Amino acid sequence: MNAIVSVTKDWAIGNEGKLLVHNREDMRFFKETTMGGTVICGRTTFESFPGGALPGRRNIVLSRNTSYAPADAEVVRSIDEALQLMANVDPNKVWLIGGARVYEALLPHCSRALVTWNNTSMPADAYFPNLDKDDCWHLANTLGTGTTPSGIPFEFREYLHV
């Protein structure tokens, strides 16, 4: 299993349910990377998608709400249920896509994290674990760099679980 995330330099990922940095290159990278695979997210993240489920991907939503049942996604009620559902799926094609609690719960089950690291700080209420300070993770590659239209420098980083 893998994680894919966009963070600021203090590892913030969102504020009031919205992404912090608007970056077309990051969105393109996310789409190309996850297309044809399985994405796992929490209910709030899923509901933030403007068109419902992400097309071209199997969408799995973690929600404890037993009445939550969107027509365009599979719902699991626990981390164990999500892991059981992924037991026979190619782990290289499974992507955690948020939010913070889903990342925190399932990151220990990931072997790789693709991080768009944005060199900025912004007000935030949701964070991704700081992989640079976690001995279980190491920066393996920088896959590319760029600057957003608003002038924020960014890097595509690949971290591996050791």
DSSP 84-95: HHTTTS-GGGEE
Q: CATH number of the domain that 134 lies in?
A: 3.40.430.10
Amino acid of residue 42: G
Give, in order, the Cα–Cα distances in Å from 33 to each of 8, 26, 57, 136: 20, 10, 11, 23
DSSP 64-82: --TT---TTSEEESSHHHH
Give the span between the Cα atoms of 95 and 69, in whole angstroms.
21
128-160 pLDDT, tens digit each? 999 999 999 999 999 999 999 999 999 999 999
Strands 18-19 and 126-127: unpaired
Give the span between the Cα atoms of 7 and 59, in whole angstroms.
22
Q: What residue numbers bound the domain in which 37 lies?
A: 2-161
91-117 pLDDT, tens digit each? 999 999 999 999 999 999 999 999 999
pLDDT of residue 29: 97
C-beta atoms surrounding 153 within 10 Å = 12
Which residues, in sequence order, are CB contacts of 28 under 8 Å at separation 6+? none
pLDDT of residue 151: 96
pLDDT of residue 47: 93
pLDDT of residue 147: 96
**Mean pLDDT score, 55-71:** 95
Q: What is the domain count for the chain?
A: 1
CA-nearest of 28, 30, 15 to 114 is 30
Of the pLDDT bands very low, low, confident and very high (cuts 50, 70, 90), residue 22 is: very high
Of the pLDDT bands very low, low, confident and very high (cuts 50, 70, 90), residue 26 is: very high
H or E segment and range at residue 33: helix 24-34
